[in-house]
Amino acid sequence: MNEEKKFVVKEVYAILPGEGQLGEGMFYKHLWKLPIPSKVKGLISRGTHNHLQTMGNLKKGKIIDDTTSFECISCNSSIEITTHLLFKCKFSYSIGARCYEWYGDERVLPADYFNHFWQHRGNINGKKTILAWGAVWASVIWALWKHRNDIKFNGVSRNLGVAMDALKHRAWTWCKANIHGFNSSLYVWSLDLANYLAQLI
Ligand SMILES: [Zn+2]
């Protein structure tokens, strides 16, 4: 077994139930290497520590009072806490599912950061492919938080298509700027993601 395959086995092992610590430690190693802006790494890191200013956290910290609605702005059916906002909400789940459609795949999406990431990571091979695919995952998280803020503070309407287009474009921009040899056009990236990633290596 070569070094690359050993690495992949170790990665896949990290997603097994009961291996939360391993999955968590490896998660941050991957996060710091991703070809994404530091502000996005910061957002994701804050989220894993439950430090995002969700309505649930603002209420818990008594920064908002009981008269303020602390429900999720996308579905109005649950308290806006991090795991709901990013993973459990129907809107968030739909964004994740649409991403796998884009890739030509279908997966059940876990409702927590680490397992969600490892599920996304899967058993993809190739250093640059892993980085680009990881940037897609980060772009989903960033898009969900940004879309939530646009709805809340800028009066934007919830729109799956707009959020999807924005996250595809954003991930492409990050990869183009930070992965040597990444030369896909936005057109190819948007329409033929799996084939482009397969040859990126
Ligand atoms: Zn919701």
Crossing angle (nearest 10°) for helices 90-103 and 193-200? 60
pLDDT at 12 over 50: no
Q: Are 43 and 145 in contact (CB under 8 A)?
A: yes
Q: Are 143 and 92 in contact (CB under 8 A)?
A: no
Rounded to the nearest angstrom, the distance between the alpha carbon of 7 and the centre of ligand 1 is 36
Q: Letter for the amino acid at 75? A: C
pLDDT at position 13:
43
**Which H or E element spans position 170?**
helix 160-178
Rounded to the nearest angstrom, the distance between the alpha carbon of 83 and the centre of ligand 1 is 10
pLDDT at position 4:
42
Rounded to the nearest angstrom, the distance between the alpha carbon of 79 and the centre of ligand 1 is 8
What residue spans define the domains of the chain?
3-200
Rounded to the nearest angstrom, the distance between the alpha carbon of 174 and the centre of ligand 1 is 28
Rounded to the nearest angstrom, the distance between the alpha carbon of 61 and the centre of ligand 1 is 21
pLDDT tens per residue across span 65-104: 778 888 998 898 999 999 999 999 999 999 999 999 999 9
Rounded to the nearest angstrom, the distance between the alpha carbon of 178 and the centre of ligand 1 is 33
3-class SS of residue 71: strand
- 167 or 69, greater pLDDT: 167
- Binning pLDDT at 50, 70 and 90, where does residue 123 land? confident
Rounded to the nearest angstrom, the distance between the alpha carbon of 90 and the centre of ligand 1 is 6
Q: How far apart are CA 80 and CA 53, in angstroms?
A: 10
pLDDT at 40 over 60: yes
